[in-house]
Amino acid sequence: MSDLKRFFVPWIDQVKPYDTDDLLMAWSRPELKRMMINENPIPPSEKILNAILEAAKLGNRYPDNGPRIRAKIARRHDLGPGNVYISHGSSEIIDMVMRLFVTPGDEVLLPNPTFSLYGIRARAVGGKVVAVDMTPDLQYDIPAMLRAITPRTKVIIVCTPNNPTGDFISDDDLMKIVEVGIPTLIDEAYLEYHPEHESKAHLVTKYNHLIVAHTFSKAYGMAGIRFGYALADERLIEYFRKMQVPWNASLLSIAAAEAALEEEEELKRKAAYNNAGVDYVVKELSKLPGLKPYYSHGNYVLIDATDAGVTGKEIVDYVFEKAGVLLKYFVPLRGRSGFFRISLGTHEENSHCVHSIKKFFEEREKERKA
Ligand SMILES: Cc1ncc(COP(=O)(O)O)c(C=O)c1O
């Protein structure tokens, strides 16, 4: 046996892989309610399924880099096809940004809390994660982020709306970061739930250090099909191409995404369905004393139960055991350990989950009085 330790890149042991335990459990026990990973509960339409089937008939052929879909995406953002890079979900864009800019010891600046994959992919290339706590009301702490910039800061992450906090960064705050001139990934994974909110894609024509990422995993509901894209200055996209693994977007996922782009009403319907779920969960959980749900523009709601005297983990464990609902809890933030997140499901699942949380508090109240 070879001593592989000698050969691995030295920073690999600092990488903790993305936690997929919940997903493994959800796939092996289909009766569980998957409300832990920000999926869309509505399956792909017939049109998308047919497009995949048609593409599969040519599955013996390598795909191209999607000139037709890149042109369509570009038109939506008033950009050219040369500004678009298509990918295996937006996770690939996140990874690509790290591989392009970060060498061992370089720093990646991001808000805390945010999507965990940024940190994981930064560490995978030897980068150091500099996580700046959001303000107590869970907004970007821009002065603190600007203070945290050093000569080794190579990438800044702006997730908007942020996962899991749910709010958009304000234009003023965003521009303070953009004007610094450091490569900045603006992750708009959830934007399609609120198309009335302007994408920041237009900024890439003025600022060549910006990358705007989109995905079809959320409002489009194609997480398992895997398709995303990056928008950036043409020269930066050329660097993406130098770094990319060819055929990263499969023929099937390109066909599915093209079909999805033609279904504008379907997208609106999915967004409206989700947003009604957000309203319901926020409204119902606000009624429970000590529970603070944060209104979300994504397909998830973050809740702080600290003032109710419970941890997020206690609630998550209870609804799993009693109601078969998978949720996610978070490590303490600013000493508050009550954070947990509900990823919206179907209306029935949302109601099932809310009732279980209410029951948790009723039972606690009974125990307290007993
Ligand atoms: C903010 C954010 N960006 C990107 C992703 C990854 O999405 P994709 O499925 O496109 O890789 C997620 C997934 O949850 C996310 O929350």
For the segment 64-84, what is each residue's pLDDT rounded down to a tens digit?
999 999 999 999 999 999 999
The SS3 assignment for 229 reads strand
Ligand 1 centre to CA of 230 (Å) is: 13
Rg (CA), the chain: 21
Q: Which atom of ligand 1 is nearest to the CA of 89?
A: 10
Check residue 370 and give its pLDDT. 83
For the residues 288-317, what does the mean pLDDT come to?
A: 98
For the residues 173-187, what does the mean pLDDT come to?
A: 98
From 19, 85, 217, give the residue whose CB has the most ligand 1 atoms within 8 Å, as the site to mutate: 217
Q: pLDDT band for position 368 (50/70/90)?
A: confident
Check residue 172 and give its pLDDT. 98
Query: In which order are the strands placed within the sheet that holds 228-232?
Result: 84-87, 228-232, 210-215, 184-187, 153-159, 107-112, 128-133
Name the DSSP letter for residue 205.
G
Question: Average model confidence (pLDDT) for the chain?
Answer: 97
Query: In this predicted structure, which of 12-26, 152-166, 286-300, 339-353 has the lowest mean pLDDT?
Result: 12-26
Alpha carbon 279 to its chain centroid, in Å, reads 20
Provide the b/e sequence for 27-56 (b: ≥16 CB within 10 Å).
Answer: eeeeebbbbbbbbbbeebbeebeebbeebe
Phi (first) and psi of residue 104, to 5 degrees: -50, 130
Residues with CB under 6 Å of ligand 1 are 38, 89-91, 115, 159, 163, 187, 189, 215, 217, 223, 228
pTM listed for this prediction: 0.97
Ligand 1 centre to CA of 3 (Å) is: 36
Q: Quick one: what percent of the chain has pLDDT higher than 90?
A: 97
- Written as six digits, the tokens of 277 are 């779920």
* pLDDT of 44 above 90: yes
Q: Which atom of ligand 1 is nearest to the CA of 114?
A: 1
